[in-house]
Structure 1
Amino acid sequence: MKPTGVRAGVGRLRRRIGFDGNELRRDVDRRQRAAGLLLLLLFLGVGPPVCWRIARNAYDSGVRAERYEAATRHEVDATVLKVDDLASGHRVTVTWREPGGQARTGSYDTWYRAVAGEHLKLWAGPAGASDVEPRRHARTVGEAVGAGLGAATTAGIPVLVAYLVIRRRSDVRRDRLWDAEWERLDADRSR
């Protein structure tokens, strides 16, 4: 019966990683384990701070964009004046009244096929009108998480490649040692 519990699990993990007194382990096994642990510590020391910084910068930038768009854009009821077909989408020219009563006209590109005379709910700002609503906080959070995960992946790939190179070289060295041991064993049997 296998031992169970936290202590047994820690013991299995310790043996699996190689922290035991097994005399059958070769120097190549110990060096591979040491290199793997060193690379893991390098990733854990560099990866999280870099990921946090990149995610934090993306989040701060998104929050600034949210505040700017909330302060400068407002919803308007616009009337379509004309629609021009583009290679991809349509250019829609609209007119609307600002909250102060001033009439404005502007154009924006969209995939939506509007019809002249149609009334649309649009977002107006200093750059004109658009059918894209102001930035939401969910988008900011999503972009920050994506940036953090991208940074973690980018930081982890070189470490993983380095470990795979070390492992491949260790496997080649182990195979040579096994071949030498088999040759020595065959030589001892033939005497």
Structure 2
Amino acid sequence: MRPTGARAGLGRLRRRIGFDGNELRRDVDRRQRAAGLLLLLLFVGAGMPVCWQVARNAYDAGVRAERYEAVTRHRVDATVLKVDDLASGHRVTVTWPEPGGRVRTGSYDTWYRAVAGEHLKLWAGPAGVSDVEPRRHARTVGEAVGAGLGAATTAGVPVLVAYLVVRRRADRRRDRLWDAEWERLDAGRSR
């Protein structure tokens, strides 16, 4: 029966990555372990701060966009004047009254097939009118997490490739050592 618990699991992990007093480990095993640890430290020490900074920059940019759109855009009740079909979607021309009483007209592109005379709830701002609501904080958080994960992947792939190259070379070396041992063993039996 195998020992269970956190201590036993840590012991298995320690032996699996080579931190034990096993005399059967060869120099090639120790070098592979040292290279793997060095690459892991490189990733954690250099890659993670870069990933954190990328995520932080994406978050800050998203928060600035949230604040700008919250200040400059407002909800309007618009009436559809005309709908033009485009290659992908529709261009909808609408009119709406501003809070000061001034009537404005604008167009936006959408996938929604509106009908002339239809009343829509839209968002107006300095750039015109749109059916896209102002940026929400959940989008900012999602984009920051995505940027951080993308940066971690970008930083981690070269480190992983380097480790796989080290492992492949170590495996080749181990195979040559095994072949040499088998030849030595066979030579001893044939005498």
- TM-score using structure 2 length: 0.97
Structure 1 residue 7: deviation in Å?
3.4
Q: Secondary structure at the match of 2:166?
A: helix
Residue number in structure 1 paired with 2:91: 91
Q: Secondary structure at the match of 1:139?
A: helix
Any runs of at least 4 consecutive aligned residues in structure 1 with deviations exceeding 4 A, and if so which?
none
Taking a change above 3 Å as real, the CA distance of residues 111 and 7 of structure 1, as seen in their structure-2 partners, is: closer
CA–CA distance in structure 2, aligned partners of residues 9 and 81 of structure 1 = 69
CA–CA distance in structure 1, aligned partners of residues 139 and 108 of structure 2 = 22
Residue number in structure 2 paired with 1:29: 29
Residue number in structure 2 paired with 1:15: 15
11-20 vs 168-177, greater mean Cα deviation: 11-20
Structure 1 residue 50: deviation in Å?
1.1
One-letter identity of the residue aligned with 1:11: G
Structure 1 residue 15: deviation in Å?
1.4
Share of identical aligned residues, percent? Answer: 90
Q: Secondary structure at the match of 1:92?
A: strand
Q: Secondary structure at the match of 1:19?
A: coil
CA–CA distance in structure 2, aligned partners of residues 136 and 21 of structure 1 = 55
CA–CA distance in structure 1, aligned partners of residues 4 and 85 of structure 2 = 70
Residue number in structure 2 paired with 1:166: 166
Residue number in structure 2 paired with 1:133: 133
Structure 1 residue 10: deviation in Å?
2.7
CA–CA distance in structure 2, aligned partners of residues 57 and 152 of structure 1 = 14
Structure 1 residue 109: deviation in Å?
0.4
* Deviation sequence 1:101-133 (CA, Å, 0-9, x none): 111111100011111111111000011111001
The reply on whether 1:184 has 2:184 as its aligned counterpart is: yes
Structure 2 residue runs without a partner (length 5+): none
One-letter identity of the residue aligned with 1:70: A
Q: Secondary structure at the match of 2:71?
A: helix
Q: Where does 1:143-162 land on structure 2 (aligned, <5 Å)?
A: 143-162=143-162
Structure 1 residue 8: deviation in Å?
3.0
Q: Secondary structure at the match of 1:129?
A: strand
CA–CA distance in structure 2, aligned partners of residues 148 and 165 of structure 1 = 26
Count of aligned pairs between the two proteins? 191
Q: Where does 1:93-108 land on structure 2 (aligned, <5 Å)?
A: 93-108=93-108
One-letter identity of the residue aligned with 1:93: T
Structure 1 residue 152: deviation in Å?
0.8
Q: RMSD of the TM alignment (CA)?
A: 1.0
- TM-score using structure 1 length: 0.97
* Deviation sequence 1:41-76 (CA, Å, 0-9, x none): 111111221111011100000000000001000000
* Deviation sequence 1:122-181 (CA, Å, 0-9, x none): 000011111001000000000001101111111110010000000001001100110111
